Amino acid sequence: AGEPLPGPSALAELTRELFHRGYSEAVTVALAPREQAPFLAAGFSVREELHLLVHRLSPLPRRAGPLTGPRTGPRTGPRTRRARNEDWTGILATDSEAFSDFWRLGRHGLLQAMAATPVRRLRVMSGAVSDSASADDVIGYALTGRAGAAGYLQRLAVRPDAQGRGVGRALVLDGLHWLRRHRVERVLVNTQLANARALDLYLGVGFTIETDRLAVLRFPLTDGGER
């Protein structure tokens, strides 16, 4: 079940249109093996494979306690909270610092991710992780979505200077507990094969790796978008 897969003519028309709009390459979202088949047959190639992980939300670790920062104790250290309009600059800066160019999301990309599920939750962790930082600085954020009994950890980013301090774990557990409260039964997340830190984090809170990997596919738009 699911959305119908595109046929050869639809893909050819799409690549031609992208070429005429001035794009140099077409890139897919992360696709499951079954979804990849028509793209590979049309000449797309694998750009990067991804681990797919699942969490059944039972058992679920307790939420992480408050973190500490410079000149702070557990009562005043970084905490997770709902994202506010004024956090967007910090959210986008965090995303830019946490990801390479290919995986980076701008405001438009993040808004698209938020629109991908009927219900979503954007949370940040703010706090001072250095003597020169402000307690209101965004040091990490997580976007979690749900659709019926299915949940998705759609985006997780932590500023490099805040990594290794439990920020990511706190944000992930915050999202998982929210999903369980709303009777979600199964949560999915994906991560790059080379991202050992993220993989260790997800495994450490109870995710398990699925056998099938996802893949992002690419198609160079030369010769009018055809091969």
pLDDT digits (tens, 9 = 90+) for 81-121: 999 999 999 999 999 999 999 999 999 999 999 999 999 99
Of 44 and 136, more confident: 44
Ramachandran area for residue 108 (φ above 0: left; ψ -120 to 50: alpha; else beta):
alpha
Stated as kind and residue range, the H or E segment containing 209 is strand 208-209
Comparing 214 with 77, the larger pLDDT belongs to: 214
- Cβ-based neighbours of 31, under 8 Å, separated by 6 or more: 39, 214, 215, 216, 217
pLDDT at 66 over 80: no
**Does pTM top 0.85 for this prediction?**
yes
Task: Measure the CA–CA gap between 54 and 159, rounded to whole angstroms.
Answer: 25
Q: What is the pLDDT of residue 7?
A: 86
**CA angle centred on 84, ends 101 and 183, rounded to 5°:** 90
> What is the token pair recorded at 76?
């005043």
Parts of the chain belonging to CATH 3.40.630.30: 57-184
Q: What is the third-level CATH fold of 57-184?
A: Aminopeptidase (3.40.630)
- Which pLDDT value is given to residue 11? 93
User: Which residue type is seen at 128?
Assistant: A
Reply yes or no on whether the pLDDT at 148 is more than 50.
Answer: yes
